[in-house]
A and B are shown apart, each in its own frame.
Chain A
Amino acid sequence: MKIHKYDTVIVGAGGAGMRAAIESTKRSRTAVLTKLYPTRSHTGAAQGGMAAALANVEEDNWEWHTFDTVKGGDYLVDQDAAEILAKEAIDAVLDLEKMGLPFNRTPQGTIDQRRFGGHSRNHGEAPVRRSCYAADRTGHMILQTLYQNCVKEGVEFFNEFYVLDQLITEVDGVRKSAGVVAYELATGEIHVFQAKSVIYASGGTGKFFKVTSNAHTLTGDGQAACYRRGLPLEDMEFFQFHPTGIWRMGILLTEGARGEGGILRNKDGERFMEKYAPVMKDLASRDVVSRSIYTEIREGRGCGPEGDHVYLDLTHLPPEQLDAKLPDITEFARTYLGIEPYTDPIPIQPTAHYAMGGIPTNVEGEVLADNTTVVPGLYAAGEVACVSVHGANRLGTNSLLDINVFGKRAGIAAAEYSAKADWVELPENPAAFVEEQVERLRNSTGGERVAELRRELQETMDANVMVFRTEQTIKTAVEKIAELRARYKNVSVQDKGKRFNTDLLEAVELGNLLDLAEVMAVSALARKESRGGHYREDFPNRDDVNFMRHTMAYREVGADGTETVRLDYKPVVQTRYQPMERKY
């Protein structure tokens, strides 16, 4: 075991982690621990764009953007945070441009903007061009640009280090962050990083679903590490299902395709979104579009022999426009489906896409231990966190924005805290938990296989807690997850070595997915209403009287060692917008 000492440690080198690192490295001695090489992070997969009311191509302002964000989130958004997001969006985009990001340009040479779902002028009047973009590889450009600037600033990375535990020490009755424990992939060595502040920026947790746009590595490690140490997770029942994933594979086809004029059609060729969202049509909010697709499929208007998908039709758009604006996604259709999007419609289905919930933070990125108490020295930003700017449903282009705005805020806040705070002593045997976990898995002779348990988990999640949920389906999932958690105790790995043991790490990641799936299902069961991404067929309406509040889930360990999820609730911060019915 090795011990390192840094002022600030950042967990994750995606957009949020690197944006934080650029600020924090200037102000404090910083280490970035990342399980992937920075440029492999899933921010690079983002396609469509990043929202900001620059008003470069038409009238727009941050107040309209705030409203759209609040409405898009079905009024579960903390409105003070949404205001910050929309206001600071403008500088966030300009910062990236100054760092070198090659945005598409208008004829005047300014940053070009395009339409995206749920973004409107004047509180829902009509779609507005608010998304700043670089073809359909905006996330790639953000990730590259941030990495380039990390190289420029001399940011110190520990690549292929997996953070597996959060260290907390109680000082005078206050639980403070003391550092993290990481596992080095190349050698199997365990490293303890003592730090005055720690920022989690470890991304989402989509891999508990089967059909998903998320990378294999998005296994919620950060959420799980904090949860296991008694910290709450907020709004975990809210997961976004993006309407247009490639049929069966889940690979994302950006909403920008519909922003450019693409149309969803059922087997009769009908533009069915006209029925469900007369004004915004194909560009209604994602939860609305995903439910509409499944309604078409359930009512027998799905395409294909099994009637299990619909079409994204781009055939009426000029090939030059597809080449210029959507080169990557049209190539995905060619590579993975053998389809020519110039002439053929693309089979799509909703795909599990984005975790609205996560580690609760305030607007400075400080992690909360309950509804109000901050954990000194602990921060989170990006998809791992829940500020909450996305509420019950995130608007497209608001996450690339979130990682930049709150990544920067967390980076500054953590480094400033490091500059004035004292060192917190490490707990006794700081690496004990990880050592025990790793050794148990390495030495286990149990008969359960990681791949089998993961498959069963993904199947039950897809079948029971996806776009449509009922008490019965969620209970089925809860029971199945409990069974899988029990079986997980008997899981064994074949690779017993130290060097690049990805077999072992997949087992650890599965453990995290199982913990988080349980939290999600239990939170969803208790929310007896429909709001944003959480749709209960048995409670199809939003219930503001009982449920306009955030879920806070805590891990409870009974005297006999049994683990349960305890739920509590937190009020939503409302400033200027009263909840209204959500129509598009």
Chain B
Amino acid sequence: MATPTMDKVEAEAVSSPYITVTFRIRRFNPEISDAAVWEDFQIEIDPKERVLDGLHKIKWDVDGSLTFRRSCAHGICGSDAMRINGKNRLACKTLIKDINPDKPITIEAIKGLTVLKDLVVDMEPFFQAYRDVMPFLVTKGNEPTRERLQSAEDRERFDDTTKCILCAACTSSCPVFWNDGQYFGPAAIVNAHRFIFDSRDEAGEQRLEILNDKDGVWRCRTTFNCTDACPRGIEVTKAIQEVKRALITRRF
């Protein structure tokens, strides 16, 4: 390592530049009104902070009734997918400076799932689709005494889809899902992929049958919205394509 001098992060930190940003948030609370409305909040914030930090500033210092889900605050728990400037993102993984803070930043609930209050949606249909694809390892025969063996290459085969945090950013960015909530949606297919391509699993056929359904993979129109939306960088569309191919060739 070169002798550490003041690096770029620190150079910027010295003059901690707070800026004024407008958060334009889609508010909805059926206890108060059946109509959703846009509400503007102006906040002072360091542009290197997260959108989630901005939401907290509003909730903690201005309007305690602003409601959203969050937990880990660093992109690992999947709680805070929302539509930020029209794109699905995690609020805790989006820095203010990266989404043009000169203009109002619009924030609304993800689409295709029922909004319950402000940025909170009903996640039940999403998790139901996940549960429907048998998202667990199925094996036959006797359990070995030690671990099952798996080569590093076989392990690598499904690595990408193991990263999913079930945030629903993909599914709720999918136009097919918006039009028809019966469609399993990308996230469920990603989680099926994770097992179909796991060399240890023996229920690939069953899962493929489930996904061959009229609400299964064939509904996908390859718009790539899901891949763009995924905060974990999973190649969602590619995974769906691989499942389609496996259905045709029955090879996986």
Give me the interface of A with B, judged by CB distance under 8 Å: 36-37, 39-42, 44-45, 93-94, 97-100, 102-111, 134, 137, 140-141, 144, 148-149, 151-152, 186, 215-217, 251, 265, 267-269, 303-305, 311, 313, 315-316, 328, 332, 335-339, 344-345, 347, 449-451, 493-495, 497-503
Is B238 located at the chain interface by the 8 A CB criterion? no
Contact B73 A216 (CB under 8 A): yes
Contact A107 B64 (CB under 8 A): no
Kindly list chain B residues whose C-beta atoms are within 8 Å of the C-beta of A316: 1
Q: A102-B155, A494-B65 are in contact. Are A450 and B60 (CB under 8 A)?
A: yes
A149 CA to B137 CA in the complex, in Å? 8
Contact B8 A140 (CB under 8 A): no
Identify which of B139, B151, B158 contacts A105 (C-beta below 8 A): B151
Contact A215 B77 (CB under 8 A): yes
Among B116-124, B178-186, B211-219, B244-252, the stretch in contact with A: B116-124
Contact A344 B7 (CB under 8 A): yes
Contact B152 A105 (CB under 8 A): yes
A151 CA to B134 CA in the complex, in Å? 8
Closest to A271 in B: B1
Contact B6 A109 (CB under 8 A): no
Given A93-B147, A313-B1, A495-B65, 4 further pairs, Cβ under 8 A? A140-B163, A265-B4, A269-B3, A450-B60
Kindly list chain B residues whose C-beta atoms are within 8 Å of the C-beta of A216: 70-73
Q: A39-B165, A111-B147 are in contact. Are A503 and B59 (CB under 8 A)?
A: yes
* Residues of chain B from 1 to 16 with CB closer than 8 A to chain A in the complex: 1-4, 6-10, 13-14
Kindly list chain A residues whose C-beta atoms are within 8 Å of the C-beta of B72: 40, 42, 44-45, 215-216
Closest to B70 in A: A216
Kindly list chain A residues whose C-beta atoms are within 8 Å of the C-beta of B144: 98
Contact A451 B60 (CB under 8 A): yes
11 pairs from A and B in contact (CB 8 Å cutoff): A42-B77, A94-B147, A98-B143, A105-B155, A109-B152, A140-B165, A216-B71, A268-B3, A347-B7, A498-B31, A500-B117
* Residues of chain B from 35 to 93 with CB closer than 8 A to chain A in the complex: 48, 59-61, 63-65, 67-79, 93
Kindly list chain B residues whose C-beta atoms are within 8 Å of the C-beta of A217: 71
* Residues of chain B from 137 to 194 with CB closer than 8 A to chain A in the complex: 137, 139, 143-144, 146-152, 155, 158-159, 162-166
Kindly list chain B residues whose C-beta atoms are within 8 Å of the C-beta of A45: 72, 74, 76-77
Is B135 located at the chain interface by the 8 A CB criterion? yes
Contact B74 A494 (CB under 8 A): no
Closest to B200 in A: A100
Closest to B122 in A: A186
Q: Digit string of B22-34 for contact with A (CB within 8 Å is 1, else 0)?
A: 0000000111100
Is B18 located at the chain interface by the 8 A CB criterion? no
Closest beta carbon of chain B to A349's beta carbon, Å: 13
Q: A152-B136, A315-B1, A500-B120 are in contact. Are A102 and B158 (CB under 8 A)?
A: yes
Is B210 located at the chain interface by the 8 A CB criterion? no
Contact B135 A347 (CB under 8 A): no
Kindly list chain A residues whose C-beta atoms are within 8 Å of the C-beta of B65: 494-495, 497, 503
Contact B147 A345 (CB under 8 A): no
Contact B137 A99 (CB under 8 A): yes
A305 CA to B195 CA in the complex, in Å? 50
Identify which of A39, A106, A215 contacts B78 (C-beta below 8 A): A39
Contact A39 B4 (CB under 8 A): no
Kindly list chain A residues whose C-beta atoms are within 8 Å of the C-beta of B129: none
Kindly list chain A residues whose C-beta atoms are within 8 Å of the C-beta of B159: 102
Identify which of A102, A152, A494 contacts B63 (C-beta below 8 A): A494
Contact B162 A215 (CB under 8 A): no
Closest to A316 in B: B1
Closest to A251 in B: B74
Contact A305 B14 (CB under 8 A): yes
Kindly list chain B residues whose C-beta atoms are within 8 Å of the C-beta of A493: 64
Contact A494 B150 (CB under 8 A): no
A267 CA to B3 CA in the complex, in Å? 8
Kindly list chain B residues whose C-beta atoms are within 8 Å of the C-beta of A267: 4
Contact A39 B166 (CB under 8 A): yes
Closest to A47 in B: B76
Closest to A218 in B: B71
Kindly list chain B residues whose C-beta atoms are within 8 Å of the C-beta of A450: 60, 64
Is B198 located at the chain interface by the 8 A CB criterion? yes
A505 CA to B10 CA in the complex, in Å? 37
Closest to A148 in B: B136
A339 CA to B48 CA in the complex, in Å? 13
Closest beta carbon of chain B to A89's beta carbon, Å: 14
Closest beta carbon of chain B to A62's beta carbon, Å: 15
Closest to B32 in A: A497
Contact A41 B67 (CB under 8 A): no
Closest beta carbon of chain A to B60's beta carbon, Å: 3
Contact A269 B4 (CB under 8 A): yes
Identify which of A97, A332, A498 contacts B74 (C-beta below 8 A): A332
A106 CA to B2 CA in the complex, in Å? 34
Closest beta carbon of chain A to B1's beta carbon, Å: 5
Contact A109 B149 (CB under 8 A): yes
Q: Which 4 A-B pairs have the closest CB atoms?
A: A100-B137, A451-B60, A494-B64, A109-B149
A269 CA to B68 CA in the complex, in Å? 43
Closest to B57 in A: A451
Identify which of B1, B68, B93, B135 contacts A335 (C-beta below 8 A): B93
Identify which of B4, B131, B143, B200 contacts A345 (C-beta below 8 A): B4
Identify which of A44, A268, A451, A502 contacts B67 (C-beta below 8 A): A502
A268 CA to B120 CA in the complex, in Å? 49
Kindly list chain B residues whose C-beta atoms are within 8 Å of the C-beta of A98: 137, 139, 143-144, 147-148
Contact B9 A338 (CB under 8 A): yes
A42 CA to B120 CA in the complex, in Å? 20
A432 CA to B71 CA in the complex, in Å? 29
Kindly list chain B residues whose C-beta atoms are within 8 Å of the C-beta of A449: 60
Kindly list chain B residues whose C-beta atoms are within 8 Å of the C-beta of A37: 79, 123, 127, 166
A316 CA to B155 CA in the complex, in Å? 27
A40 CA to B90 CA in the complex, in Å? 13
Closest to B117 in A: A500
Identify which of B9, B75, B93, B117 contacts A499 (C-beta below 8 A): B117
